[in-house]
Amino acid sequence: MTPVIIGSATLYNMDCMEFMATLPDHAFDLAIVDPPYGIGESGNKESRNRVASNHYTPKDWDKDAPATEYFRELRRVSKNQIIWGANHFIDRIPLPSSCWVVWDKVTGNSDFADSELAWTSFKTAVRNFRFQWSGMLQGDMKNKEQRIHPTQKPVKLYEWLLTNYGKPGQRILDTHMGSGSSAIAAHNLGFEFVGCELDRDYFEAASKRIRVATAQERLFA
pLDDT of residue 215: 87
Question: For residue range 60-98, what is the model confidence (pLDDT) as tens digits?
Answer: 899 999 999 999 999 999 999 999 999 999 999 999 999
As a whole number of angstroms, the distance between CA 160 and CA 188 comes to 12
- Its pTM stands at 0.92
Beta-carbon contacts of residue 109 (< 8 Å; ≥ 6 apart): none
Angle 192-32-52 from CA coordinates, rounded to 5°? 115
Q: Which residues does residue 12 pair with via DSSP β-bridges, in sequence order?
A: 196
- Are 194 and 29 a contacting pair, CB within 8 Å? no
- Are 208 and 201 a contacting pair, CB within 8 Å? no
Question: For residue range 187-216, what is the model confidence (pLDDT) as tens digits?
Answer: 999 999 999 999 999 999 999 999 999 886
Q: Which domains does the chain have, with CATH numbers?
A: 4-220 (3.40.50.150)
As a whole number of angstroms, the distance between CA 125 and CA 107 comes to 24
Q: Which residues does residue 83 pair with via DSSP β-bridges, in sequence order?
A: 33, 119
Candidates 206, 204, 187; CA nearest to 34 is 206
Task: Specify the 3-state DSSP secondary structure of 129.
Answer: strand
As a whole number of angstroms, the distance between CA 114 and CA 92 comes to 24
Side chain identity, residue 110: S
Radius of gyration of the chain (CA): 16
Side chain identity, residue 172: I
Question: For residue range 134-163, what is the model confidence (pLDDT) as tens digits?
Answer: 988 999 999 999 999 999 999 999 999 999
